[in-house]
Amino acid sequence: MDYLKTVSESAIYNPKENSKERVDLMAKTADAKSRICLYGSKKAIHAFSRFEELGAKLNTKDQHQSFTDMVGTMRLDSGSEIGVEARALQIVLLGVGD
């Protein structure tokens, strides 16, 4: 959840390079990433690494798809027994439905 918050904060606020806000956001992101690597399932880490390979940004259709795949996997890992379509996640999280 914390990683999703930091991605959202970065996309919405886009703090200036070398600002205190940027440094704080990067620290929170690193902390959240570390916890995903420690506690995430194999599928979640694979989905997460794919999003990172694409630049960990939300600018392209591939990045949107990768991000929503990661969220869907993490959602299942959190105990939800019912999956959600990627398109529905994209609309809710990103305001787009590629």
Tally of helices (H runs) and strands (E runs) in the chain: 5, 0
* Domain residue extents for the chain: 2-94
Render pLDDT for 47-76 as a digit per residue (tens, 0 to 9).
999 999 999 888 899 999 999 899 999 888
In this prediction the pTM is 0.80
Split at pLDDT 50, 70, 90, the class of 1 is confident
Mean pLDDT of 76-97: 80
Q: Whose CA is closest to 69, among 48, 52, 38, 53? A: 48
Render pLDDT for 3-16 as a digit per residue (tens, 0 to 9).
888 888 887 777 88
